[in-house]
Chain A
Amino acid sequence: MSLQSTSLQTRDMPLGRDDLARLVARDIAPGSFVNLGIGQPTLVSNYLTEEQNITLHTENGMLGMGPEAKGDEIDEDLINAGKIPVTELPGASYFHHADSFAIMRGGHLDICVLGAFQVSATGDLANWHTGAPGAIPAVGGAMDLASGAKDVFVMMTLLTRDGASKLVEHCTYPLTGVGCVTRVYTDKAVFLTGPDGVIVRETFGCTLEELQELVPLPLQSAAAVGV
């Protein structure tokens, strides 16, 4: 494994939430059908361009979701999966819940972007339950999204508040899905995950060597493996 990292680094600062959302938006192929999870992933919609012609899916039953509704646009019958009032774009469609999840489970969505507590080296995802005693479990559509979309992108900070890596050898939190995550976007680096281990595509404000100090599993450089 090579740790020659200088060629990987694309920014000299860690990325903020909006910069990260901009990066994810840029990486979504034109014409894609995309589901953005609740929370940080929702920010991605702010940076999708008209030229990209992306169609957003919301699992409560709509394709062609537009931006958040403001003022007079607010309609209580038109909300997203986070129960936020949204708008419809020309060409939008509505469908019932079983059809909406068939779109997901049937592999028709190109990408979903989710938050995470932990991602494992082989792309296992933990994002729904801390497993803490007394915590009321609530899963929503997280497991369906994780197992349904062709590509699952995760957006998260690399480290917990305590400085522990959320990219781990094996998840210690209850799993949402097995081997489902293909890319992890963090403030410090973009990682590609899969059966062959973790490849670092680019780093932000750190070298690959410094990144390796933070992450307790072997990292490969995209430059070295030719990704």
Chain B
Amino acid sequence: MLNFIDTVGEAVAGIQDGSTVMIGGFGNAGQPFELIDALLDGGATDLTVVNNNAGQGDQGLALLIKEGRVRKMICSFPRQSDSWHFDAKYHAGEIELELVPQGNLAERIRAAGAGIGGFFTPTGYGTMLAEGKETRIIDGRGQVFETPIHADVALIKALKADGKGNLVYRKTARNFGPIMAAAAKHTIAQVSEIVPIGGLDPENIVTPGIYVNSIVKVA
């Protein structure tokens, strides 16, 4: 069921304590800042968050971490010059980190949305990130078994939605949006513009509306 929602606060109101939340974006591109701020205001806690990074500066995901609302981060690159809130929580032992190579992170998210129970990949074979994982030699190469990452909710940002919830993105802001939309039970998309049904060329739809549950327009 697709809902068009007036405010970001209402859009995230159903997110429960203890949820796994995927948050789109790579750097600032595609990051749904308004939805994250609404999640911060909404008070849900004990969250597992899936994002490429672990927050930057004093905004968005970094503030959610600072406020102690994130129990666990699943990401590929937590350490940045301005990831001081994550750094502090990590060193204090107050946040769990599951570090995943970026391509495995993307493919594990994709696998969840596609109903795949896992896959073997050469990425990480022979490294400490493969320790304890099942391995096989396939086509002469060492490969590591990786499992899907499912989520209760995905917060993503797109450029436009039509009346069917179909989405198009803009440039490199697409990044994790399409795969997170498919991997979560409930996908909330913030968009810059909502157009009527028929307002997007079906040949150019990136995320079909079947993956989208809630749409909120953010100016």
Contacts and interface: CB of A to CB of B under 8 A. Distances in A.
Contacts of A157: none
A62 B170 CA distance: 12
Contact of A97 (B86, B87, B179): B179
Interface stretch (B1-9, B62-70, B97-105, B211-219): B97-105
B174 A94 contact: yes
Contacts of A177: 125-127
Interface stretch (B11-19, B41-49, B76-84): B76-84
Contacts of B122: 105, 147-148
Interface in B35-69: 52
B127 A94 contact: no
B123 interface: yes
A60 interface: yes
**5 shortest A-B CB distances, which residue pairs?**
A101-B103, A144-B103, A83-B27, A178-B126, A138-B79
B171 A60 contact: no
7 contacts: A76-B28, A80-B172, A83-B26, A97-B179, A138-B79, A138-B80, A178-B127
B142 A178 contact: yes
A104 interface: yes
Contacts of B195: none
A217 interface: no
Contact of A136 (B87, B103, B175): B87
Given A76-B28, A138-B99, A147-B125, A61 B91 contact: no
B20 to A, nearest CB: 18
B172 A58 contact: yes
Given A143-B124, A174-B127, 13 more contacts: A59-B103, A60-B175, A77-B30, A83-B28, A94-B171, A97-B176, A100-B106, A101-B107, A105-B107, A139-B76, A143-B103, A143-B129, A177-B125
A60 B29 contact: yes
A98 B109 contact: yes
B110 interface: yes
Contacts of B100: 139
Contacts of B126: 124, 175, 177-178
A176 B76 CA distance: 13
B137 interface: no
A88 B96 CA distance: 38
Contacts of A79: 26-29, 172
Contact of B172 (A60, A136, A176): A60
Interface residues of A, number: 43
A147 to B, nearest CB: 4
B128 A178 contact: no
A134 interface: yes
Interface in A115-131: 124, 129
Contacts of B174: 61, 94-96
A186 to B, nearest CB: 23
A97 B26 contact: yes
A170 B103 CA distance: 26
A135 to B, nearest CB: 8
B175 A97 contact: yes
Contacts of A59: 102-103
Chain B CB count within 10 A is highest, among A58, A76, A77, A148, for A77
B101 A97 contact: no
Contact of A98 (B27, B107, B142): B107
A168 B77 CA distance: 27
Interface string A177-211: 11000000000000000000000000000000000
B11 to A, nearest CB: 22
B101 A143 contact: yes
Contacts of B147: none
